[in-house]
Amino acid sequence: MSEKKVPFTKDQIEKIIEKFPTPFHIYDEKAILENARRLKKAFAWAPKFQEYFAVKALPNPSIMKVLKKEGFGADCSSMAELLLCEMADITGEQIMFTSNETPAYEYQKAFSQNAIINLDDFTHIQYLEESCGTLPEVICFRYNPGPLKGGNEIIGTPQEAKYGLTREQMFEAYRVMKEKGCKRFGMHTMVASNELNVDYFVETAVILFEMAAEIAEQIGIDLEFINLGGGIGIPYKPEQHEVNLEELGEKVRVQYEKILASKGLKPYIYLECGRVITGPYGYLVTTAVHEKHIYKEYIGVDACMANLMRPGMYGAYHHVTVMGKENAEKDHVYDVVGSLCENCDKFAVDRKLPKIDKGDIVVIHDTGAHGHAMGFNYNGKLRSAELLLKEDGNVELIRRAETHDDLFATLKF
């Protein structure tokens, strides 16, 4: 079971709201740092272990700087994310650039930053060389294991995914790059999203380790690193259990020793987790502004799907806490909804909650990944502020709320 608590009291959040009106996302720095250290410790056995934080999960340079203090790099997939690295002073091979259908200017930017470029397709070898005029010192390829790997609900089955190279293409890609004079090589895959089964990730590691051993034997390339990807999930529902990172690290270690180290191969191990690092430690704070009694009971809040897309897009569960009523009986059934002109704009459906009154502070849990990041402006809705609850208890504004001037800036030209 996962315990759903908030890192502030009703009095504390009311004082924060006096300065920063709802809605806003707030992130718990202390919890994020403790969790980052836990992941590092679980993989401390691995040679030069490196975590590249998946910027897409929480693209804010203040968060990236917090994680940089723990030695985390950045996993990027777009120009904007590369630029955020510059804002966070993350440089060189602390950046892993994994994109698909990549425009030339993005490759050129990653190349100029000396980022590790992870190619998504065999044809991108020539495209990268033509775009940058040469090839980088280190190159990586993203593997799509196809029928070797079962599917994951969010990301889909590998055979139907647009990402990566086939097994045959991987071998040919390394041969080609060796002939072109490349000396440093990596391998990557990403086949899961929000997965809670430890053994799913161990199985993925085995697939990559066995391929790395074959590449060493057949092509004579000892991979410098293996990026096991990300996709480690979090327990959005109270009845779910978090992934045991210590068990995961140990099981991967056993396979590493068995498949690679026993053959004298010792590639570095990388991860690119996002959700599991920050997801549980973000909260969307909103205020109940309306109640409605028709065929169902509704509570309208001042946040909407523009602030948190996941429930409307995926039907995803996010836990809800009503501040000051944590221990009250959950004797009402509500749909908690926003003001967007879409019927899917619902944070909770048929949810048992304590009686909610207008003016109550409603906190939506687990928004520290793919929350604000997936915001949008449909209906002209403005994206909210982001706050950081510092280790010392102070609160820092790390992204101001949008204004209508921001929204209309591209129209005034």
Q: How far apart are the first and last CA of the chain?
A: 54
Q: Is 396 annotated as a binding residue?
A: no
Contact status, residue 56 vs residue 274, Cβ threshold 8 Å: yes
Looking from the CA of 368 toward its CB, the CA atoms found within 13 Å total 30
Dump strand ranges (E) for 111-234.
116-119, 138-142, 184-188, 225-227
Where residue 359 falls (left for φ over 0; alpha for ψ -120 to 50; beta otherwise) is left
Q: Which pairs with CB-CB distance under 8 Å and at least 24 residues apart come from 125-134?
A: 125/173, 125/176, 125/177, 127/102, 130/104, 131/104, 131/107, 132/107, 132/108
Q: Is 274 annotated as a binding residue?
A: yes
Q: Is 29 annotated as a binding residue?
A: no
Q: Is 342 annotated as a binding residue?
A: yes
If residue 277 lies in a helix (H) or strand (E), which one and from where to where? helix 275-278
Q: Is 236 annotated as a binding residue?
A: no
The b/e string for 175-214 (b: 16+ C-beta within 10 A; e otherwise) is eebeeeebebbbbbbbbbbbbbebebbbbbbbbbbebbbe
Handedness of CA 107, 65, 281, 386 (dihedral sign): negative
Longest dimension (CA), the chain: 71
> DSSP character for 324?
T
CA angle 165, 171, 177 (to 5 degrees): 95
Per-residue HEC secondary structure of 368-390 comes to CCCCHHHCCCHHHCCCCEEEEEC
Write out the two tokens for 204: 């993925």
Q: Is 341 a catalytic site residue?
A: yes
Write out the two tokens for 346: 């619902």
Contact status, residue 182 vs residue 134, Cβ threshold 8 Å: no
Token pair 């718990």 in the structure block, residue: 28
Contact status, residue 50 vs residue 270, Cβ threshold 8 Å: yes
**DSSP helix/strand/coil, 297:** strand
Question: Which amino acid is it at 214?
Answer: E
Q: Is 368 annotated as a binding residue?
A: no
Active-site position among 76, 140, 304, 341: 341
Active site residues: 341
Going by the annotation, the residues of the binding site are: 231, 272-275, 310, 314, 342
Going by the annotation, the residues of the binding site for substrate are: 275, 310, 314, 342
Going by the annotation, the residues of the binding site for pyridoxal 5'-phosphate are: 231, 272-275
